[in-house]
């Protein structure tokens, strides 16, 4: 399918009759309930529920001399049978009234793993540090020809553009220090980097003091970039900070060098808040959806609760410098999703809270989420694979910061859910391709899920009424739904229908029509009863 066709498939299909509701073609895509795009009504006690990652082991400790207490801005992705990780190496030394950020230049470092769980730092031998090349540094800061590279703000990705040449299969975005802008780099192996241009890109449209990123979006057949800027039209409540609020901008490009006009992100129902990173990327299991994990920043000032948080001596020490916020600010991870890359559903509740109080938590720099999720094996024998998410802790304390792994079930960001009292979700009219309906769901032992397939007017399709669907119970990321006459949906493929989901003590995370029955969309006025 061409990029134009994919983009068209993401837009609602409006029927010829003005009185008819819009019909959304979903084909055989996996659909998540992380946004409200397909939801017409939530009935009874049904609602959308945000789920939270489960903390696991520390994946990596940044304790080498060339790393330090401020390591972050991790990029993580699976590359064949290997997992790759790139990150900023930075050290902040704190003493009474002073913070020293110049122990060593900012570096970009590299780690890898066979399973996404146990990570290693290979000695690359590329750059020297204190007289030795025995380190995992893959890019250093400083002049490079006409460029001035800040290697401490990296975003690295494997380019999914089918036309990317072999020597540019891997791409990286670094920051330019003077002028303040971004720099695109390419690599044939993900370790040896060369600039793609002799001049910075996106100059003058942001402050870029964050993880600024770009990637190939197959939905539009272009590169997207997302970066940090100060929205000066909205003031913040922190008098110690510059006027404006930390926010996110975006633009698109055909070649990663020449960019179109920039646009500021908008949100469905979220207030202006300080956002540092954005961590946006197509979700691999449903790449028509862009999922982001921005970092929310808030300076809560001094209070009894602030003084009661972990490691108060470190907090007071950082606050004794010229910037008190280093001791009184807090960060956490959020979740947002979009289908057009511009307007996002951003959950106002934290996706990744600072968590139970313990050393290395509840501080500025914690829960900066890595870019992006990867699939890993479950620790439960026989359980399906799950999503791994990585986030920073122990920022600016001890010898070095750390990266902790968290897990989430597949597609498990948000569910349509109802308690034992029951609830329903009714979709907007949609058109699908495929032979069967698979669901990612979870119920209690007494809970259940049922699906009724309806005509456009709300009448059940014959043979697919609620009474025809035996209650489904269990906990599976891939269960086929059946009705009394079976699971075969071929006769309904290509015709507009609604789905009525009836839930009791159950969560529905995602669904997908799949099989081998592609169909042309037929107008509802040409369709009789099944």
Strand 475-480 to 436-454 pairing? antiparallel
DSSP-assigned letter for residue 166 = G
pLDDT digits (tens, 9 = 90+) for 39-54: 999 999 999 999 999 9
pLDDT digits (tens, 9 = 90+) for 239-262: 555 567 889 999 999 999 999 999
Average pLDDT, the chain: 91
| Selection from 451, 458, 464, 460 nearest residue 512 by Cα | 451
CA dist 345 and 414 (Å) reads: 12
Q: Report the half-sphere exposure of 320 (CA within 13 A, side-chain side).
A: 13
pLDDT digits (tens, 9 = 90+) for 419-445: 999 999 999 999 999 999 999 999 999
Task: Assess whether pLDDT exceeds 80 at residue 3.
Answer: no
Angle in degrees, CA 192, 194, 196, rounded to 5:
145
DSSP-assigned letter for residue 105 = -
Segment 95-124 shows an average pLDDT of 91
DSSP-assigned letter for residue 28 = T
In the prediction, which pLDDT does 232 show? Answer: 75
Scan for tokens 């792994």, then name that residue: 405
pLDDT digits (tens, 9 = 90+) for 343-402: 999 999 999 999 999 999 999 999 999 999 999 999 999 999 999 999 999 988 778 999
In the prediction, which pLDDT does 274 show? Answer: 93
Q: What is the pTM of this model?
A: 0.92
Q: What Å distances lie between residue 419 and 442, 446, 447, CA to CA?
A: 12, 11, 9
Note whether 249 and 182 are within 8 A (CB). Answer: no
DSSP-assigned letter for residue 368 = -
Neighbouring-strand partners of residue 37: none
Strand extents, DSSP E, 422-529: 423-427, 430-432, 436-454, 475-480, 498-514
């Amino acid at each position: 399918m061409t990029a134009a066709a994919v983009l068209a498939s993401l837009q609602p299909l409006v029927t010829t009759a003005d009185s008819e509701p819009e019909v959304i073609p979903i084909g055989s895509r996996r659909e998540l309930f992380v946004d409200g795009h397909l939801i017409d009504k939530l009935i009874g006690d049904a609602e959308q529920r945000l789920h939270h990652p489960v903390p696991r082991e520390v994946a990596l400790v940044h304790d080498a001399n060339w790393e330090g207490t401020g390591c972050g801005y991790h990029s993580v992705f699976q590359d064949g049978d290997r997992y790759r990780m790139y990150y900023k190496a930075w050290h902040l030394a704190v003493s009474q009234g002073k913070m020293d950020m110049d122990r060593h230049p900012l570096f970009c470092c590299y780690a890898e793993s066979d399973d996404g769980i146990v990570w290693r730092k290979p000695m690359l031998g590329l750059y020297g540090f204190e007289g030795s090349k025995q380190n995992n540094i893959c890019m250093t800061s400083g002049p490079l020809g006409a460029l001035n590279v800040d290697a401490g703000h990296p975003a690295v990705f494997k380019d999914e553009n089918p036309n990317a040449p072999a020597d540019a299969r891997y791409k990286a975005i670094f920051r330019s220090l003077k002028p303040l802008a971004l720099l695109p780099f390419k690599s044939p192996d993900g370790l040896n980097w060369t600039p793609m241009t002799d001049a910075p890109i996106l100059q003058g449209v942001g402050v870029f003091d964050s993880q600024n990123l770009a990637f190939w979006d197959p939905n539009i057949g272009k590169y997207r970039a997302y970066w940090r800027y100060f929205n000066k039209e909205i003031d913040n409540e922190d008098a110690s900070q510059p006027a404006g609020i930390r926010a996110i901008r975006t633009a698109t490009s055909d070649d990663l060098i020449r960019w179109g006009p920039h646009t500021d992100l908008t949100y469905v129902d979220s207030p202006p808040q300080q956002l540092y990173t954005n961590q946006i990327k197509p979700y691999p299991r449903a790449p028509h959806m862009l999922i982001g994990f921005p970092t929310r920043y808030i300076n809560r000032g001094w209070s009894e609760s602030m003084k009661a948080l972990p490691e108060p001596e470190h907090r007071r020490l950082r606050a004794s410098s010229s910037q008190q916020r280093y001791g009184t600010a807090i960060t956490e991870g959020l979740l947002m999703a979009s289908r057009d890359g511009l307007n996002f559903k951003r959950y106002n509740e934290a996706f990744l809270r600072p968590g139970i109080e313990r050393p290395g938590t509840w501080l500025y720099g914690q829960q900066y989420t890595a870019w992006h999720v990867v699939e890993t094996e479950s620790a439960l024998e026989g359980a399906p694979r799950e999503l791994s998410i990585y986030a920073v802790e122990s920022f600016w304390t001890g010898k070095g910061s750390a990266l902790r792994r968290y897990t989430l079930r597949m597609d498990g960001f948000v569910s349509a859910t109802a308690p034992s009292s029951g609830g329903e979700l009714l979709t907007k009219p949609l058109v699908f391709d495929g032979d069967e309906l698979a669901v990612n769901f979870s119920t209690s032992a007494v809970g259940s899920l049922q699906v009724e397939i309806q005509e456009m007017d709300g009448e059940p399709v014959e043979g697919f009424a609620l009474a025809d669907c035996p209650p489904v119970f269990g906990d599976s990321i891939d269960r086929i739904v059946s009705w009394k006459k079976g699971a075969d949906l071929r006769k309904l493929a290509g015709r507009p229908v609604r789905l009525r989901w009836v839930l009791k003590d159950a969560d529905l995370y995602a669904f997908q029509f799949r099989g081998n029955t592609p169909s042309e969309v037929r107008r509802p006025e040409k369709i009789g009863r099944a």
